């Protein structure tokens, strides 16, 4: 059994200079597809469940699926992470179900739509962090609101995220405020607002620095070199998957995601967790559409899901290899939650701040 906390995994990633993809899971096929890729590449893995995933599969089913793959892949450290927790209850109930890490997304109010004040964000994130650390669980916070620098629109596309138009000030994490936020909350990792958004339609052209603000990542990393940064909305939406999706009857207008080479720049500057859901969905949807198009008489769900798992596995292997995660798993000795709790209590996991942080 090797359930790892986000903090321990990202500390290892920082020490060795690699990044870890965080893949969203909702069902057995996604869990199996991702784990097959992790097993073949010897990669530690972050499986994350949104609130939507928890209500879709049910907490019991999710928890038992993760227990099953722990037994199937005893050498692969698995971090089970709550994606975009909206309040204390979501985060604490995740812990009750075996999550080793939670995101308290206080950039939005509990309705997951209304941008929250800075004070609200600090207050709720600090509260969750205090409680989570008592039992060794890690916490990711978010400062700034996810959304497009091209349109100013928030991230409401897939059912959660800010509604309406946002200013650039809201859409970009302020590096000085980030220092204050990390000091005040004690989070282990910070999601950065930098022009990325969830879903397939992130950019209307290949992104450059004007619409994908990696300079924000660099500035925060300079001030807090030990802090683990998180890129949300980081699917690449590969051109070949868009074309295949449309070839087999889908309708996806030309779009651009976050190019892999930009993610690698992020990894050089403190990004340790790279969230990807859309690419996984797309890889599976392409395979399912292909079966439907090639074999209109097919109705056995397994004949759709087997190629879907294979498509997902191939995509995940690519990401593990690209981010340097491959080959790291069997080396890691997982610290139990009780050990992590002692480390927090002893103060040995507190953040360090560079001279630039004081400025």
Minimum gap (Å) between residue 197 Cβ and ligand 13P = 8
Q: Name 23's bridge partners.
A: 47, 276
Q: Out of 21, 175, 233, 270, point to the residue binding ligand 13P (CB under 6 A).
A: 233
276 contributes a contact to ligand 13P by CB under 6 A: yes
Phi, psi of 23 (to 5 degrees): -100, 135
Q: Out of 11, 12, 70, 83, point to the residue binding ligand G3H (CB under 6 A).
A: 83
Among residue numbers 223 through 242, which ones bind Zn ion (CB under 5 A)? 232
Site string for ligand G3H, 166-205 (x = CB under 6 A): --------------------------------x-------
Which option in Zn ion, ligand 13P, ligand G3H, none does residue 234 bind, with CB closer than 5 to 8 A by kind?
Answer: ligand 13P
> Out of 11, 12, 83, 188, which one is annotated catalytic?
83
Q: Is 83 a catalytic residue?
A: yes
Q: Out of 53, 95, 102, 103, point to the residue binding ligand G3H (CB under 6 A).
A: 53
- What is the rounded CA–CA span in Å between residue 108 and residue 169? 15
Tokens 């008592």 label which residue? 134
Minimum gap (Å) between residue 183 Cβ and Zn ion = 24
Token representation of residue 153: 């629109």
Which residues, 6+ apart, have CB-to-CB distance to 275 below 8 Å? 21, 22, 24, 48, 83, 230, 231, 232, 233, 234
Minimum gap (Å) between residue 276 Cβ and ligand 13P = 5
Q: Report how far Cα 38 is from the mean position of its chain's Cα atoms.
A: 16
HEC-encoded secondary structure of 143-199: ECCCECCCCCEECHHHCCCCCCECCHHHHECCHHHHHHHHHHHCCCEEEECECCCCC
Which positions lie near ligand 13P, rule CB under 6 A?
A: 24, 83-84, 198-199, 232-235, 275-279
Residues forming contacts to ligand G3H in the complex (CB under 6 A) are 24, 50, 52-53, 83-84, 158-160, 198, 277
| Residues annotated as catalytic (active site), given as ranges | 83
């Amino acid at each position: 059994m090797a359930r790892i906390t986000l903090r321990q995994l990202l500390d290892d990633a920082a020490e060795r200079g690699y990044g870890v993809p965080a893949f969203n899971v909702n069902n057995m096929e996604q869990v199996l597809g991702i784990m097959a890729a992790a097993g073949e590449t010897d990669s530690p893995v972050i499986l994350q469940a949104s609130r939507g995933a928890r209500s879709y599969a049910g907490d019991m089913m999710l928890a038992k699926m993760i227990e099953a793959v722990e037994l199937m892949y005893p050498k692969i450290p698995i971090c089970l992470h709550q994606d975009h927790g909206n309040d204390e209850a979501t985060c604490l109930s995740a812990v009750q179900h075996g999550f080793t890490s939670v995101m308290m997304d206080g950039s939005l109010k509990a309705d997951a739509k209304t941008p929250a004040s800075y004070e609200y964000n600090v207050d709720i994130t600090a509260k969750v962090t205090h409680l989570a650390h008592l039992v060794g669980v890690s916490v990711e916070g978010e400062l700034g609101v996810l959304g497009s620098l091209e349109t100013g629109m928030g991230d409401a596309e897939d059912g959660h995220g800010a509604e309406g138009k946002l200013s650039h000030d809201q859409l970009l994490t302020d590096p000085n405020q980030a220092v204050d936020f990390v000091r005040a909350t004690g989070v282990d990792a910070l999601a950065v607002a930098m022009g990325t958004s969830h879903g397939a339609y992130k950019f209307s052209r290949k992104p450059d620095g004007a619409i994908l603000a990696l300079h924000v990542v660099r500035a925060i990393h300079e001030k807090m070199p030990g802090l683990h940064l998180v890129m949300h909305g980081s699917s690449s939406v590969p051109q070949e998957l868009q074309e295949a999706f449309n070839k087999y009857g889908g309708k996806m207008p030309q779009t651009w995601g976050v190019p892999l080479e930009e993610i690698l720049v992020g990894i050089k500057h403190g990004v340790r967790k790279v969230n990807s859901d859309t690419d996984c969905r797309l890889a599976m949807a392409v395979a399912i559409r292909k079966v439907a198009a090639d074999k209109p008489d097919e109705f056995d769900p397994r004949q759709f899901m087997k190629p879907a798992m294979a498509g997902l596995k191939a995509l995940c292997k690519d990401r593990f290899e690209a981010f340097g995660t491959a080959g790291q798993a069997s080396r890691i000795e997982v610290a139990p939650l009780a050990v992590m709790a002692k480390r927090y209590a002893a103060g040995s996991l507190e953040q360090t701040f560079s001279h630039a942080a004081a400025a």
